[in-house]
Amino acid sequence: MKKASIIMIIGSLLLLGLFKFPLWNIMLGAPQYPDPLGMNIHIDGIKGVSEFDLQNIDGLNHYIGMKTIPKAEEMWEFSVFPKVILGMALLGVIIGLLGYLNKVSYKYFLGWFVLMSVLGILGMYDFNNWLADYGGNLDPHAIIKVTNPDGSPMSYKPPLIGFKKLLNFDVTSLPHTGGYLMFIGMSFTLIAFWLGRKMSLKKTTS
Amino acid sequence: MKNILTSSIAMLVILLGFTGCNNGNQSGGKSGALSNNIAEKVYVAPGEYDSHYAFISGGYSGNITVYGLPSGRMFKEIPVFSQFATSGYGYSEETKPMLNTSHGFVPWGDSHHPDISQSKGELDGRWVFINENNTPRIARISLTTFETEEIIEVPNSAGNHSSSFVTENTEYVVAGTRFSVPIPQRDMPIKDYKGNFQGALSFISVAPETGNMDIKFQVLMPGFNYDLSHPGRGKSHGWFFFTTYNTEEASTLLEVNASQNDKDFIAAVNWKKIEEYVNNGGGKMMPANYAHNLYDEHTHTATSTIKKEVRVVNPIDVPGAVYFIPTPKSPHGCDVDPSGEYIVGNGKLSANLTVHSFTKMLDAIEKEKFAGEAYGIPILNFEDVLAGVVEQPGLGPLHTEFDGKGNAYTTFFISSEVVKWKIGTWEVIDRKPTYYSVGHLTIPGGNSGKPQGKYMFAMNKITKDRYLPTGPEMEHSAQLYDISGDKMELLLDFPTHGEPHYAAAMEASIIKEQSQKIYKLADNKHPYAAKSDADTKVVRDGNEVHIYMTTIRSHFSPDNIEGVKVGDKVYFHVTNLEQDFDVPHGFAVLGQNNSELLIMPGQTKSSVWEPKQVGVWPFYCTDFCSALHQEMQGYIRVSAADSDVPIKWSLGEDIE
């Protein structure tokens, strides 16, 4: 149980990587942009991959009527996400410590994982909603209006994950270092649960 | 039987195979280039980079052109000494001061010998210097922005030709005078040239961090013509060598009168000794009048300061500082090998090539073996200093470069060829024709202790039939050779812009990485910059109207302006708000007696317009900046001089 608890603590602490590294990354390449423009989505705001990328993305997007990339203070998510992540990391550490002292059972580890997964899915859902609004809620006076074959306005929503071609841009959306650290951390807590369970089963059978 | 059949079929297959190969060769064309894979050696595939930068002087264009090697493609023309309507250099308010001189605004120059800055005898790729021959000046060009940052006028000089070569740590950029003149300038009969005219050799210090130039001292030499020069390096670091002609001191019909002496001189100048003398208060300040023009990357503006004195040194006052080495027949190029031991005097009217030894020179000086003196300057014996002679290599030797592998390459103007010879044995190894009448040649890393001896290119004076004809006036031709083997191999023939004299070249790695993409708007300190739409305005000050304007894809702000009157002096101060690589905007207004402006991202440039006619005049972006470039336009209303239309401006709504 001690080993499992240590893994639980390490797994929870890996969440803190999100305070340093981006959760997600969206890159936009085009014939005119052999060095693609890019945005890194941190839990506390969106930053350009290079110094002027956000300004340049906004500059291009004004042609098709997209809103500018929101500043941190313009979205409640960027003030709530850091608190949620910090809270979850702390909670995980506390559960791990209590597990170490045999005050709680390994089942709490799974409980933490499930809670984190639910929050994660909610976060992704919210993020996807934002992407849909960002890419689809266009200025009716946009300079360039592109319609789908059925006459509806084309959406410039970047993919939640993966690759998509949007006019002349190749858009790639993937988790970044902070996101990967979070996934690894979450799987650590799952391993902690599995280890804890194995140990406790061993104890009961022996 | 079966075996025979099998082997016959095998033979047939092999034969067919051979035939196939032969056909392949024939269809590859009869061109020697293709059959020897020469084309591959200069082919830079689309999207790939050249391995070397070449900075080729534009001669009478006054500029420098940037080329790639081995492709021979031109990438940029950098305006230096001439107005350049393409970008507004020398036309915009910010850059007019760059062309200021003690003679006032000079719109044109004759650029000659670019040289890249060095550290420890190797090219460091920070700056390239170039001299202006006609109104003597030296310019320093940044190799991060590829813009001219500084120009200093050289007083007491005329025909600034034996310039602008740098010492091995860029302590100095040196400028010699081709035409001797009265110093100070005064009204006197030309026939009294002899003994009265002087030649100034200027040592211009270069500040290690900023590159800022300052004339440390001028050595006032006898009135010969100081034609070309090169620094000592390695063991001869601290010395500078200048070829001379017209030691006859003729002032008329020089083609005859300056070709009488069997030998002219190479002047060997111990600048370290003179520097020490000057640092101890030696020399004297004399009244002078020369411009020092400095461009500030943050204000995007040049300032011109007229300096009023310069320190001069009489060489006789510094014993052991200057010697003359006799060198046959009006030597032109003066080239020092990478070790610093050999000084090649390219006697342009001599059949032989003379090579002097630095060690022997020091020895002769130590033993005081002098053949005489000229104006108090000791003359060494030709034989005492001679290292060797390359016998009859060609006709009209001009310039020599080195490959760092013990070989030298000399151009021959009259016999139109480059000759490769071996240092030490003085034997000729190879010769290749040039097309036609070659002047300078360049090996990347040329004036340094470490030549990068893979390519050599020859810059010719005469083109004739090399390209599709373009009437009487043609660009000059250059030829690129592979010099990695024993024999030189002609790879490519490419046109050059203006008249290339020398060129400086180096491997691309350092410069490629440091090349700047944009100017940061946040660092823009231009007094008339508008850094956002909120800063745009139109201000009247008497009959001057200042328009603080911005550009961003795809509009000007403001784009409707009223209240300007005939007789006003209208300043368009245009700031490019873009912070994206390679998105300049242009500006031009109908009828302006000026060039356009081409404004780089983050930059501010100003253009003056003095409207003479009432009307509503359009202005527009001249650079196809975006899909809506054609819409990037505006109107300025010009009213009669006595009208009372108020100053107003707008963007996106009607002026009320």
| B168 pLDDT more than 50 | yes
pLDDT at residue A151, rounded to an integer: 86
Cβ pair B579:A144 closer than 8 A: no
Q: Spell out which residues of chain B touch residue A169, defining contact as CB-CB under 8 Å.
A: none
Which of A56, A63, A144 lies at the smallest CB-CB distance from B580?
Answer: A56
d(CA B606, CA B593): 14
Co-location of B131 and B259 in the same domain? yes
Q: How confident is the model at residue B4 (pLDDT cuts 50, 70, 90)?
A: low
Contact indicator for B154, B172 with CB cutoff of 8 Å: no
Cβ pair A63:B628 closer than 8 A: yes
Q: Which residue segment(s) compose the domain that B279 sits in?
A: 52-514
Q: What is the DSSP string of B479-533?
A: EEEE-SSSS-EEEEEEEESS----EEEEESHHHHHH------GGG---TT---SG
Mean pLDDT across B154-166: 97
Model pLDDT for residues B472-531, shown as the tens digit of each residue = 999 999 999 999 999 999 999 999 999 999 999 999 999 999 999 999 999 999 999 999
Q: Say which DSSP state B319 is in.
A: T
Instruction: Please indicate if any CB of chain B lies within 8 Å of the CB of A144.
Output: yes
Q: Spell out which residues of chain A touch residue B578, defining contact as CB-CB under 8 Å.
A: 59
Co-location of B500 and B543 in the same domain? no
Model pLDDT for residues B455-476, shown as the tens digit of each residue = 999 999 999 999 999 999 999 9
d(CA B416, CA B434): 5
Model pLDDT for residues B625-650, shown as the tens digit of each residue = 998 999 999 999 999 999 999 999 99
Phi, psi of B317 (to 5 degrees): -75, -10
Mean pLDDT across B595-618: 98
Compare all CA atoms of chain A with the CA of B519 and give the residue at the minimum distance: A52
Helix/strand number for chain B, H first, E second = 8, 46
Q: What is the mean pLDDT of chain A?
A: 93
CA distances from A123 to A84, A119, A127, A136, B191 (A): 10, 6, 6, 20, 93
Compare all CA atoms of chain B with the CA of A52 and give the residue at the minimum distance: B579
**Are β-strands B560-565 and B633-639 bridged in parallel, bridged antiparallel, or unpaired?**
parallel
Co-location of B94 and B127 in the same domain? yes
DSSP H helical segments within A22-136, as ranges? 53-61, 77-100, 107-136
pLDDT at residue B257, rounded to an integer: 87
d(CA B580, CA A31): 15
Tokens of B298: 């943050």
Instruction: Please indicate if any CB of chain B lies within 8 Å of the CB of A51.
Output: yes
Characterize B447-456 residue by residue with b for buried, 16 or more Cβ atoms within 10 angstroms of its Cβ, and e for exposed: bbbebbbbbb
d(CA B442, CA B11): 53
pLDDT at residue B350, rounded to an integer: 85
Tokens of B336: 């020092």
Q: Spell out which residues of chain B touch residue A51, defining contact as CB-CB under 8 Å.
A: 579
Best of B516, B520, B579 to disrupt the A interface (most A CBs within 10 Å) is B579
Q: How many Cα neighbours within 13 Å face the side chain of A96?
A: 25
Residue B20 lies in a domain: no
Contact indicator for B241, B266 with CB cutoff of 8 Å: yes
Nearest chain A Cα distance for residue B280, angstroms:
50
Nearest chain A Cα distance for residue B47, angstroms:
11
Instruction: Please indicate if any CB of chain B lies within 8 Å of the CB of A56.
Output: yes
pLDDT at residue B35, rounded to an integer: 54
Q: Count of residues for chain A?
A: 206
Residue B75 lies in a domain: yes
The amino acid that residue B645 corresponds to is: V
Q: Say which DSSP state B63 is in.
A: S
**Are β-strands B455-460 and B604-609 bridged in parallel, bridged antiparallel, or unpaired?**
unpaired
Q: Count of residues for chain B?
A: 656
Among the listed residues B266, B229, B262, the one whose alpha carbon sits nearest the alpha carbon of residue B386: B266
CATH of the domain at B182: 2.130.10.10
Peptide bond preceding B611: is omega within 30 degrees of 0, i.e. cis? no
Written in H, E and C, the secondary structure of B158-211 is: CCCCEEEEECCCCCEEEEECCCCEECCCCCCCHHHCCCCEEEEEEEEEECCCCC
d(CA B107, CA B134): 12
> What percent of chain B has a predicted confidence (pLDDT) above 70?
95
Co-location of B507 and B558 in the same domain? no
Helix/strand number for chain A, H first, E second = 5, 5
Contact indicator for B189, B195 with CB cutoff of 8 Å: no
Contact indicator for B180, B197 with CB cutoff of 8 Å: yes
Three-state secondary-structure class, residue B394: coil
Report the run of H or E that residue B21 belongs to, with start and end. helix B2-27
Tokens of A50: 């290079």
d(CA B122, CA B141): 18
Residue B58 lies in a domain: yes
Compare all CA atoms of chain B with the CA of A50 and give the residue at the minimum distance: B580
How many domains, in total, are found in chain B?
Answer: 2
Co-location of B571 and B502 in the same domain? no
Q: How confident is the model at residue B76 (pLDDT cuts 50, 70, 90)?
A: very high
Best of A50, A55, A61 to disrupt the B interface (most B CBs within 10 Å) is A55
Tokens of A80: 């709530």
- The residues, any chain, with a CB within 8 Å of residue B356's CB and separated by 6 or more, are B266, B325, B327, B342, B343, B344, B345, B385, B386, B387
> Environment class of residue B26 by beta-carbon count within 10 Å: exposed (0-12), middle (13-18) or buried (19+)?
exposed
Tokens of A65: 């009527």
Model pLDDT for residues B295-325, shown as the tens digit of each residue = 999 999 999 999 999 999 999 999 999 999 9
Q: Spell out which residues of chain B touch residue A55, defining contact as CB-CB under 8 Å.
A: 579-580
Residues of B with CB under 8 A from a CB of A: 518, 552-553, 578-581, 627-628
Which of B552, B553, B580 lies at the smallest CB-CB distance from A52?
Answer: B580
Instruction: Please indicate if any CB of chain B lies within 8 Å of the CB of A143.
Output: yes
pLDDT at residue B13, rounded to an integer: 46
pLDDT at residue B28, rounded to an integer: 38
Model pLDDT for residues B265-289, shown as the tens digit of each residue = 999 999 999 999 999 999 999 999 9
Residue B625 lies in a domain: yes
Residue B656 lies in a domain: no
Contact indicator for B533, B607 with CB cutoff of 8 Å: no
A–B CB contacts, 8 A cutoff, strictly below: 17
The amino acid that residue B350 corresponds to is: S
| B186 pLDDT more than 50 | yes
Co-location of B358 and B482 in the same domain? yes
Q: How many Cα neighbours within 13 Å face the side chain of B100?
A: 20
Co-location of B593 and B468 in the same domain? no
Co-location of B510 and B538 in the same domain? no
Last residue of a domain, one of B464, B484, B514: B514
Q: Say which DSSP state B350 is in.
A: -
Nearest chain B Cα distance for residue A27, angstroms:
16
pLDDT at residue B377, rounded to an integer: 97
d(CA A96, CA A98): 5
Co-location of B385 and B267 in the same domain? yes
Cβ pair B578:A59 closer than 8 A: yes
CA distances from B645 to B616, B648, B652 (A): 13, 9, 20
CATH of the domain at B608: 2.60.40.420
d(CA A8, CA A99): 9
Residue B583 lies in a domain: yes
Q: Spell out which residues of chain A touch residue B580, defining contact as CB-CB under 8 Å.
A: 52, 55-56, 59
Residue B359 lies in a domain: yes
Cβ pair A51:B552 closer than 8 A: no
| B261 pLDDT more than 90 | no
Angle at B530 between CA B529 and CA B536, to 5 degrees: 135
d(CA B609, CA B592): 5
Co-location of B486 and B619 in the same domain? no
Q: Spell out which residues of chain A touch residue B518, defining contact as CB-CB under 8 Å.
A: 52
Among the listed residues B639, B640, B610, the one whose alpha carbon sits nearest the alpha carbon of residue B648: B639
Instruction: Please indicate if any CB of chain B lies within 8 Å of the CB of A52.
Output: yes
Angle at B110 between CA B113 and CA B252, to 5 degrees: 100
Which regions of chain A are under pLDDT 50?
none
Which of A135-139, B126-130, B538-542 comes out lowest in average pLDDT?
A135-139
Which of A56, A63, A144 lies at the smallest CB-CB distance from B579?
Answer: A56
- The residues, any chain, with a CB within 8 Å of residue B467's CB and separated by 6 or more, are B474, B475, B477, B495
Nearest chain A Cα distance for residue B580, angstroms:
6
Residue B6 lies in a domain: no
| B24 pLDDT more than 60 | no
Among the listed residues B87, B86, B162, B170, the one whose alpha carbon sits nearest the alpha carbon of residue B122: B170
Cβ pair B579:A52 closer than 8 A: yes
Last residue of a domain, one of B485, B514, B543: B514
- Tell me the CA end-to-end span of chain A in Å, nearest whole number: 15
Co-location of B535 and B503 in the same domain? no
- Cβ count within 10 A of residue B287: 9
Instruction: Please indicate if any CB of chain B lies within 8 Å of the CB of A35.
Output: yes
* Cα R_g (chain A), whole angstroms: 21
Compare all CA atoms of chain B with the CA of A61 and give the residue at the minimum distance: B553
- The residues, any chain, with a CB within 8 Å of residue B496's CB and separated by 6 or more, are B56, B65, B67, B459, B475, B476, B477, B478
- The residues, any chain, with a CB within 8 Å of residue B168's CB and separated by 6 or more, are B118, B120, B121, B231, B233, B234, B237, B448, B449
Best of A52, A54, A58, A68 to disrupt the B interface (most B CBs within 10 Å) is A52
Q: How many Cα neighbours within 13 Å face the side chain of B296?
A: 13
d(CA B238, CA B604): 43
> What percent of chain B has a predicted confidence (pLDDT) above 90?
91
Q: How confident is the model at residue B656 (pLDDT cuts 50, 70, 90)?
A: confident
Cβ pair B580:A59 closer than 8 A: yes
Written in H, E and C, the secondary structure of B234-263 is: HHHCCEEEEEEECCCCCCCCHHHHCCCCCE
Bridge partners, residue B261, by sequence: none
Q: Spell out which residues of chain B touch residue A52, defining contact as CB-CB under 8 Å.
A: 518, 579-580
> Environment class of residue B48 by beta-carbon count within 10 Å: exposed (0-12), middle (13-18) or buried (19+)?
exposed
Q: Spell out which residues of chain A touch residue B553, defining contact as CB-CB under 8 Å.
A: 59
Cα A78 from chain centre:
12
Co-location of B504 and B573 in the same domain? no
Last residue of a domain, one of B514, B545, B579: B514
Among the listed residues B64, B42, B40, B62, the one whose alpha carbon sits nearest the alpha carbon of residue B52: B42
Q: How confident is the model at residue B348 (pLDDT cuts 50, 70, 90)?
A: confident
